[in-house]
Chain A
Amino acid sequence: MKKLFIFLIYLFLLPNFILAEENSKIQIEVHKNLRCLVCQGQSIADSNSDFAKTIKLVVKDLIDEGQSKEEIYDFLVSKYGEWIVYKPAVNAKNFVLWFLPYIILLLGGIIILMFTKKGKNKRHN
């Protein structure tokens, strides 16, 4: 009987533990992607400043309200600008930042391919 009682309590509390664990993971992830605006090169996760502490409280509230990571970032970007997030959004303004490395890589590949092809043709001739 006692064992059954303990099992039922465990079963009842398990979803709460899982949810708390999940929320805590999301919180850490969000903190790591937010820049501490009053610090020197620190994220909100790394900083113990007053500003970072307040942001941590706000992020916790928003997660508890059921907001997604993207919604939290959107909210903070609307208040503090894009500088607050480490990972810039993929949009027209940041197009070069996101895609230039791939374009250069592709161009480099094409050029290397052209040279090797030409080299091969010369050797054949």
Chain B
Amino acid sequence: MKNKIIKIFAFGFPTFIFIIFFLGLATDKTYDTRNIVGQKISYFTLNALIGDSQITEKDLVNNQFTLINFWSSWCAPCRAEHKTLLKLKDNPKLKILGINFKDSQKNAIIYLTKLGDPYQYIAQDKDGKASIKFGVYGIPESILIDGNLKIIKKYIGPLSKNDYLEILKVLY
């Protein structure tokens, strides 16, 4: 009996350690917030960048698709993806909501005047608190939602050419 237990332990313990390491090292540990895909976006009310109006999730309900893009004039990667946003602007199936993140209104307007305005709606999130509701932890980030406000895709970092093609694929 004693020898049997020793044998079981001598074989079982290293096997157990091996399985733990194998599974632990094989899984992808890159952290992202893509787990929110499939969820509905929360209720939100944001002030428009220009004027006194407010933008809420109700404004997005009638759109076929909406791309919510978090950007700022001080963010260099946002400039890199700006051309892609301008290309998406004219798509009849898509509306783009730009959420200006921790920025000054003046700098944001200068940025859009210089580089072009790809947004149908522009809201401001001065202290960044609203971005937490969207699971944002850095910019640029973009969230593609449908008319039911369900998150279809989430893009962390600047939109690449592949992301652009993927968005078009979702739309058609």
Report A's interface with B, CB cutoff 8 A. Answer: 37-38, 50-51, 54-55, 57-58, 61, 76, 78-81, 83, 111, 114-115, 118
Q: B135 and A57: CB pair below 8 A?
A: no
Contacts of B102 in A (CB 8 A): 50
> Of B91-99, B113-121, B125-133, which stretch is located at the interface?
B125-133
Q: B33: CB under 8 A from chain A?
A: yes
Interface positions of B (Cβ within 8 A of A): 1-2, 5, 31, 33, 35-36, 39, 102, 127-129, 131-135, 137-138
Compute how far the CA of A10 lies from the CA of B43 in the bound complex, rounded to whole angstroms: 41
Residue of B31, B36, B128 near A54 (CB, 8 A) is B128
B5 and A111: CB pair below 8 A? Answer: yes
A51 touches B33 (CB 8 A): no
The smallest beta-carbon distance between B104 and chain A, in angstroms, is 15
Contact A61 B135 (CB under 8 A): no
Residues on A with beta carbons closer than 8 Å to the beta carbon of B128: 50, 54, 57
Alpha-carbon gap, A81 to B31, bound state (A):
9
Contact of A118 among B2, B134, B137 (CB under 8 A): B2
A55 proximity list for chain B (CB < 8 A): 132
Residues of B within 8 A of A51 (CB): 137-138
Q: Bound complex: CA of A20 vs CA of B132, how far in Å?
A: 24
If the complex has contacts A50-B102, A57-B127, A115-B2, are A79 and B133 also in contact, measured as CB distance less than 8 A?
yes
Report A-chain residues with C-beta under 8 Å of the C-beta of B5: 111, 114
Contacts of A81 in B (CB 8 A): 31, 33, 35
CA distance A98 to B2 in the complex (A): 30
Cα distance A58–B131 in the bound complex, in angstroms = 10
Contact B127 A79 (CB under 8 A): no
**Are A80 and B137 in touch, CB under 8 angstroms?**
yes
Task: State the CA gap A58–B2 with chains docked (Å).
Answer: 58
Residues of chain B lying within 8 A (CB to CB) of residue A61: 129
Question: Can you pick out 28 interface pairs between chain A and chain B where the beta carbons lie within 8 Å of each other?
Answer: A37-B31, A37-B137, A38-B138, A50-B102, A51-B137, A54-B128, A54-B131, A54-B132, A57-B127, A57-B128, A57-B129, A58-B129, A58-B132, A78-B36, A78-B39, A79-B33, A79-B36, A79-B132, A79-B133, A80-B33, A80-B135, A81-B31, A81-B35, A83-B31, A111-B5, A114-B1, A118-B1, A118-B2
Closest beta carbon of chain A to B9's beta carbon, Å: 8
Contacts A55-B132, A81-B35 known; list 15 others, CB within 8 Å: A37-B31, A38-B137, A51-B137, A54-B127, A54-B132, A57-B127, A57-B129, A58-B132, A76-B132, A79-B133, A79-B134, A79-B135, A80-B137, A81-B31, A83-B31
